Structure 1
Amino acid sequence: MKHKVKQTQDNVSTVNQFVLLGFSDLKDLQSFLFGVFLFIYMIIISGNSLIIILIRFDPALQKPMYFFLANFSFLEICYVSVILPRMLMNLWSQDRSISLMACATQMCFFLVLAATECFLLAVMACDRYVAICNPLHYPLVMNQKICVQLAVGSWIVGMPIQIGETVQIFSLHFCNSSQINHFFCDIPPILKLACGDTSLHEIIVYVVAMLIAAIPFMWILASYSKIISTILKLPTASGRAKAFSTCSSHLLVVVLFFGSATITYFRPKSNHSAGSDKLLSLFYTIVTPMFNPMIYSLRNKDVIAALRKLFLKR
């Protein structure tokens, strides 16, 4: 595979085009992997689109919880569309090259959307906290204006930080290799290709990850500790079961997303390997968005009822 380099004044070769190795080591499975990931992409697009349509047109789903769920489903479509089309193209054409600008753009969109997911999951936890712990004030606190502001804030609050982080990473010179041993332009494999000492940049990545991921995650934990405490105090078993059912889907998604992402970004550098990085990245970039529609629909009576009404009409 050809790649381009340019000569700097220091006579150091600097890469200006990368090669995404992806799953190139599985030479006999390229067609099979293309089919599998195309099928997954179709499931993600159709499943999340169906949830958006149901929430948009079913009167029973005109509640803050489902407003945030519609935002989350749209986010998942955008999130996987940053990664999967490029990966599918690479598997189909076997041309794995990607320009420096295209790589930076993919990373920037990925980081911004990942930040949005962190904050939106925290907002959804806040919604459940108010609904269960302060039900009498719920209509007043989670009114339409507040819901829109929280959703818009989730989309834009991480943008300047993640754009700045992308600019900072791609201001480095890349001279170790042009081959990214990953299926998309993620931070850890990109930093491995940088010339010289990258310890300062790694510290910045950790700090940003703490701001973007750890703080929302701690907020989610605090919310759910209060939620669980309140649920356990409910007098009837049916009341406790109903309250748990409204939270379990969201909590499962939080564990899947934050669990795999935390292991990827916060484990020691010495423990990183290309194979484990790819496997963990598959979880929070592809597997979780694929299961989200099923998690939210199969564990939610309102969504199931809306689905039945839709199919009965048809």
Structure 2
Amino acid sequence: MQSKRLWRAASLALIVISMGALLYMALHDPSSQPAPTQAAAPAASVQVHIAAPIYTSGPLSKLSADEQQLAQAMIERFGKKLQHPFWRIRAIESLMKVLQKKYPNDWKQRLRDLLKLFFPEDAAQLMATLDAYDSYNDWLKSMQGDRQFGSREERLQAVWDKRRQLFGQDADLIWAEEIKQEKVDAALKKLDGSGLPVAAKVDSYVKTLTEVYGQDALNPDKSHPVQMMEGFLTLDSVQGELRAQSPEQQRQTLRKLREGLGLKDDAIQRLEALDEQRQQRYSAGESYMTQRSALEKQYQGETLQLQLNALQNRLFGEEEAQFIRNEEASGYYRYKEKQVVGVN
């Protein structure tokens, strides 16, 4: 009996030792370890993607991957346009913005180097344009705050003299859009003092736009009708006549202008609905200023402010009323200003 107990104890010990050995081998055998999950991979959260080089030969291949991407973008956008001085200026300005941000200390030399590298066939013209561009900007900086000009016209003439001195005939090509706007501005100034009725001014203005911009001026998809309308509607003489008209006369005058600028009926109807909203808002503003003045005569201090808050909430709603309170706290009273009919 005693021998059987000894045999069982020895067998049990052998089993425990065998299991321990197997467990040890399992834990220390690399082939038996489970593969780490993606979440446990040491570099899973820090993956660095290095852009592949775009140019594998030639001078551009020596640039970093980022600069190669910049080169590709610049070449695609400007490569076939650089015979025109306007696009040379645009290329210089585009590259300059990138380099000023990335290399604030030595962007100027990098600009010259990269322009030559990106556009070797146009390098001579680009460098000449860049020299003129630098001189022009230096001159503009030197003129800031300068009061040697008696009028805006004198200053504008000096600007054009400097442009033509530095860029020659290319100045008219570089600033072609500005020349067009100056012609429109001159026509508007002439109309403002002409004494013509507003309907005749509309006709004259539309004629000027087509002379300056061609038929694109009457195509809302190619022009900027909102800016064109504002340029006309903000004339003092036009606003004076519009304010003297009845609501229906105002609507007809504005419709004539909008139709003249090529707007379709659905767009005009949307603007007319907006005109009504603006008029309602302005009428509420006039009422507000009248009632505000009356409250200021009755109350003072905190009591006055409580009365004003209630008035503002009642007329404009709580959200808009808070905007008005913030404006007035800074000293701005929006409804003291005259409404610009057709604009706000």
TM-score, reference length from structure 1: 0.25
Q: Which has the higher contact order (CA 8 A, sep 6+)?
A: 1
Higher strand share: 1
Larger radius of gyration: 2
